[in-house]
Amino acid sequence: MSELHETAKALVAEGKGILAADESSGTIKKRFDSIGLESTEQNRQAYRDMLFTTPGAEEYISGVILYDETIRQTALDGTPFPKLLESKGVIPGIKVDEGAKPLALANGETVTEGLDGLRQRLEEYHGLGARFAKWRATYSITDELPSEYCIWTNAHALARYAALCQEAGIVPIVEPEVLMDGTHTIERAYHVTSRVLNAVYTELFDQRIDLEGTLLKPNMVLSGYEASSRAGVQDVAEWTLRCFKKHVPAAVPGIVFLSGGQSDEDATAHLNAMNAMGPLPWELSFSYGRALQAPALKAWGGKPENVEAGQRAYYHRAKMNSAARTGMYAPEMEREAVTA
């Protein structure tokens, strides 16, 4: 187990976080549509190559979550992507769930599938270089949802996934995402996130998971995106930490937040406010997808001559989130980059 502990700790090393580059085929198509680029395998390869070869990004990025296609691809110079990342001291990871599907007999709720054949897939991914994995469960908030049925069914699946990962020598990132779509208050988000985390850690304990060889990738506790009034940065930090101190054991080495549709700068500011309230029982880091990539995607636009501009934009967001890890981020740092 010591190797799992070391990997988990390395992923939340000081000043570093994780790039989620594990977009499914459907999600990456939506991203490319936004810049008018066709989602071909060649374009997806060129885009990931731009991100992964960004000079100096490894100062701030400890690991990259890959998609099944990406872990099998090579960089434009022919180096397999996992080898390219390893050469920079970045740990390759892999998304292994097969997506949220409708939960039987539970209208409006989902369960994540992908446990069938997972043991064999993990063995193959380990051979391809993956040293950590990710499985995402999602929960919708309304006045009635999520149900206990949905909460516990997903918690059980997350723990089964985590056990198979640890058996394969792979660190499981456990991702229970309470979706922030809706009009709910921050208090309601706190209540639901508490119930979800309580179920997840009950199942992880019952299924013999070594918590020191895991990471948690949760939502922050936010007001619903359509709420009439939304909680500010400090309130988000306080409600989120109150929730996590109650439910996340100190044995967990780190919490790597998802950005969940927040703006790039909001995701950074919220992380910063939480770290400024330390010391905390665990490392508080980031595992952002869109909030790290959006400016880079826009600057690149699918054009080879814009690769450097895309890399500068990605490097900047990685640097801002690294600053947020120490509570030293300030919005002025964004403007300085624009004028630099």
3-state secondary structure 195-245: HHHHHHHHHHHHCCCCHHHCEECCCCCCCCCCCCCCCCHHHHHHHHHHHHH
- In total, the chain counts a number of residues equal to 340
Residues with catalytic annotation?
175, 217
- H/E stretch holding 186 reads helix 186-206
| In the predicted structure, residue 339 carries a pLDDT above the cut 60 | no
The tokens for 258 are 């998802």
Question: What value does the mean pLDDT of the chain take?
Answer: 96
pLDDT at residue 338 tops 60: no
Pair of tokens at residue 319: 């640097």
* pLDDT tens track for 47-83: 999 999 999 999 999 999 999 999 999 999 999 999 9
Percent of the chain with pLDDT over 90: 96
Residue 46 pLDDT > 80: yes
Segments in 93-183 forming alpha helices (H): 118-127, 148-167
The per-residue DSSP string of 40-93 comes to -HHHHHHHHHHHHT-TTGGGTEEEEEEPHHHHH-B-TTS-BHHHHHHHTTPEEE
Q: Is residue 219 a contact partner of residue 174, using CB atoms and an 8 Å limit?
A: no
Side chain identity, residue 296: A
Strands 110-112 and 100-102, how do they pair? Answer: antiparallel
Domain boundaries, position 324: 2-339
Query: Which stretch of 12-16, 165-169, 331-335 has the lowest confidence by average pLDDT?
Result: 331-335
The 10s digit of each residue's pLDDT in 232-273 is: 999 999 999 999 999 999 999 999 999 988 999 999 999 999
The candidate with the shortest Cα–Cα distance to 146, out of 219, 234, 215, 255, is: 219
With 0-12 CB in 10 A as exposed, 13-18 as middle and 19+ as buried, what is 218? Answer: buried
Exposed/middle/buried for 287, CB within 10 Å: 0-12, 13-18, 19+?
buried
Asked whether the predicted pLDDT for residue 336 surpasses 80, the reply is no
pLDDT of 337 strictly over 70: no
Q: What is the pLDDT of residues 175-211, one digit of tens each?
A: 999 999 999 999 999 999 999 999 999 999 999 999 9
- Give the CATH number for residue 182: 3.20.20.70
Give the pLDDT of residue 340.
Answer: 47
Taking the CA atoms of residue 52, residue 22, residue 193 and residue 183 in that order, the dihedral angle to the nearest 10 degrees is: 100
Task: Give the separation between CA 296 and CA 278, rounded to whole angstroms.
Answer: 31
Mean of the pLDDT values across residues 285-293? 96
How many separate domains does the chain show? 1
